[in-house]
């Protein structure tokens, strides 16, 4: 085949070789695009616009439920027990907080907060999945436009985030827990999953801490690092927790004179009732609060300063001492427990 013939046969770009008009979502639903000149099907559960396309969600027929189970479609993102086309599915475990319920909670009690806009969400008990269909977030991710923002514009964004954090903190609880009273999945202060549980439990199964009261949290922290927590009031405040640069969308200013503007806050998976001292302490250099690849990507400094200005005290020195002591003790205890487990399996400890 000569090059001219090849060129003629590839008049349709190679990228157009495969198109997906229908997305099978678990065992219950599928979504598909609606023809430009067509009507939304009468049996559509919900429909929405995404750019120039109209999409609709419909209940599956029996034959669809068994079509290619577990197959990943091109363009999907696979992250541990979660996968997404927009943001679409995560493993469902009884007793683990559903992100969609948390977003509904924020929308009800703090409607001024720019949250993820939900289109539809459900639990697929047959496949043990939770599904969320959400609108495409406006603006651009903060970490993608970090270098395009001035010092003042970064401060503007941080201050706007802090305003919403303060607003949400008006919702309080007497326990460290999710909105539905479950234990939280992530909390650096109370340690991670015990070593033996890691060995016995599949990696995709979320592990949650127990629900802590003020007193039980204090006792636990002292056992973790032999250090009492900072003195605080007896209530826990509602807090997003993961206000990193890849969970914040901003509107890119047109010029250096324009103000930096928050567009949306996403990923509410770990939002819960947290100790008040943790609000401004959590953004620190030990966590994911720096912008990858940026020499001046210390987003945590901007956010922490804005949170302190809003009235949240950062216990930075206390936390750094705590981390050092916690890791030292965890390594000692972890080694002992691991050797004990090896002996129980009749394996010689290292």
Concatenating the DSSP letter of every residue in 288-331 gives T-S-TT-TT--HHHHHHHHHHHTTPPP-HHHHHHHHHHHHHHHH
pTM: 0.81
Q: What pLDDT shows up at residue 68?
A: 44
How far apart are the C-alpha atoms of 223 and 228, rounded to whole Å?
A: 9
Look-up: residue for tokens 């993820």? 116
Query: What long-range pairs does 323-327 form, CB within 8 A, spacing at least 24?
Result: 323/188, 323/286, 325/225, 325/226, 325/227, 326/191, 326/224, 326/225
pLDDT, mean of residues 279-286: 83
Residue 72 has pLDDT above 60, yes or no: no
How far apart are the C-alpha atoms of 270 and 239, rounded to whole Å?
A: 9
Quick one: pLDDT band at residue 195, thresholds 50, 70, 90? very low
Q: What pLDDT shows up at residue 334?
A: 65
Rg (CA), the chain: 24
> For residue 130, what are the β-bridge partners?
90, 123
Q: What pLDDT shows up at residue 110?
A: 95
Of 4-18, 59-73, 79-93, 125-139, minimum mean pLDDT range = 4-18
Beta carbons of 274 and 312 less than 8 angstroms apart: no
Query: Interior CA angle at 170 toward 165 and 122, to 5°?
Result: 75
Q: Using one digit for the tens of pLDDT, what is the confidence trace for 105-149? A: 999 999 999 998 899 999 998 888 889 999 989 999 999 999 999
Beta carbons of 55 and 35 less than 8 angstroms apart: no
pLDDT, mean of residues 310-329: 85
Give the tokens for residue 249: 């969308």
What is the share, in percent, of the chain residues with pLDDT greater than 70? 73
How far apart are the C-alpha atoms of 295 and 19, rounded to whole Å?
A: 41
Residue 82 has pLDDT above 50, yes or no: no
> Nearest to residue 126, comparing CAs of 51, 197, 28?
28
Measured between alpha carbons, how far is residue 18 from residues 11, 14, 73, 101 in Å? Answer: 15, 9, 11, 36
Residue 21 has pLDDT above 90, yes or no: no
Length of the chain: 350
Q: Using one digit for the tens of pLDDT, what is the confidence trace for 40-63? A: 999 999 999 988 889 999 998 755
| Residue that wins the pLDDT comparison between 72 and 291 | 291
pLDDT, mean of residues 281-290: 79
Residue 85 has pLDDT above 60, yes or no: no
Give the tokens for residue 1: 């085949």
Residue 76 has pLDDT above 80, yes or no: no
Quick one: pLDDT band at residue 8, thresholds 50, 70, 90? very low
Quick one: pLDDT band at residue 97, thresholds 50, 70, 90? very high
Of 73-77, 175-179, 204-208, 270-274, minimum mean pLDDT range = 73-77
If you write DSSP's letter for every residue of 230-250 in order, what string do you get?
A: PP--S-EEEE-----TTSEEE
Q: What pLDDT shows up at residue 128?
A: 83
Q: Using one digit for the tens of pLDDT, what is the confidence trace for 226-238? A: 777 787 777 899 9
Quick one: pLDDT band at residue 74, thresholds 50, 70, 90? very low
How far apart are the C-alpha atoms of 319 and 135, rounded to whole Å?
A: 37
What are the b/e assignments for 84-111, b being 16+ CB within 10 Å? beebbbbbbbeebbbbbebbbbbeeebe
How far apart are the C-alpha atoms of 11 and 9, rounded to whole Å?
A: 6
What is the share, in percent, of the chain residues with pLDDT greater than 90? 44
Q: Mean pLDDT score of the chain, rounded to an integer? A: 80
pLDDT, mean of residues 310-317: 91
> Nearest to residue 325, comparing CAs of 235, 196, 223?
223
Give the β-pairing of 140-141 and 82-84: unpaired
Q: What pLDDT shows up at residue 19?
A: 46
pLDDT, mean of residues 153-182: 96
Question: Under 8 Å CB-to-CB from 343, ≥6 apart: which residues?
Answer: 349
If you write DSSP's letter for every residue of 166-214 in order, what string do you get?
A: HHHTTSEESEEB-TTSPPPS--GGG--S-HHHHHHS-TTS---PPPEEH
Q: What pLDDT shows up at residue 185?
A: 81
pLDDT, mean of residues 296-301: 85
How many Cβ atoms sit within 10 Å of the Cβ of residue 167? 17
Quick one: pLDDT band at residue 35, thresholds 50, 70, 90? confident
């Amino acid at each position: 085949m000569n090059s001219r013939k090849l060129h003629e046969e590839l008049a349709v770009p190679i990228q157009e070789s495969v198109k997906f008009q229908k997305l099978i979502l678990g065992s219950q639903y599928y979504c598909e695009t609606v023809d430009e000149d067509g009507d939304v099907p009468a049996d559509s559960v919900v429909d929405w616009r995404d750019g120039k396309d109209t999409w609709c969600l419909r209940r599956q027929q029996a034959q669809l439920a068994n079509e290619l189970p577990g197959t990943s479609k091109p363009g999907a993102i696979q992250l541990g027990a979660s996968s997404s086309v927009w943001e679409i599915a995560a493993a469902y475990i009884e007793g683990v907080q559903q992100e969609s319920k948390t977003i509904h909670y924020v929308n009800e009690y703090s409607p001024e907060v720019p949250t993820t806009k939900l289109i539809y969400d459900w639990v697929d008990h047959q496949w043990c999945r939770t599904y969320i269909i959400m609108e495409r977030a406006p603006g651009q991710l903060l970490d993608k436009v970090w270098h395009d923002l001035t010092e003042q514009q970064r401060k503007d964004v941080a201050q706007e985030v802090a305003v919403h954090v303060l607003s949400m903190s008006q919702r309080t609880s007497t326990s460290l827990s999710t909105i539905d009273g479950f234990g939280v999945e992530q909390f650096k202060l109370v340690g991670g999953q015990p070593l033996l549980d890691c060995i016995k439990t599949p990696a995709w199964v979320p592990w949650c801490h127990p629900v802590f009261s003020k007193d039980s949290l204090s006792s636990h922290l002292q056992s973790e690092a032999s250090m009492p927590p900072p003195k605080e009031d007896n209530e826990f405040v509602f807090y997003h927790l993961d206000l990193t640069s890849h969970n914040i969308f901003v509107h890119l200013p047109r010029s250096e004179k324009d103000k930096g503007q928050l567009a949306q806050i996403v990923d509410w998976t770990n939002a819960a009732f947290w100790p008040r001292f943790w609000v401004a302490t959590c953004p620190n250099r030990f966590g994911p609060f720096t912008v990858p690849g940026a020499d001046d990507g210390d987003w945590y400094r901007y956010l922490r300063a804005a949170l302190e200005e809003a009235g949240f005290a950062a216990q930075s020195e206390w936390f750094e001492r705590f981390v050092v002591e916690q890791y030292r003790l965890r390594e000692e205890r972890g080694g002992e427990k691991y050797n004990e487990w090896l002996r129980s399996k009749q394996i010689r400890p290292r």
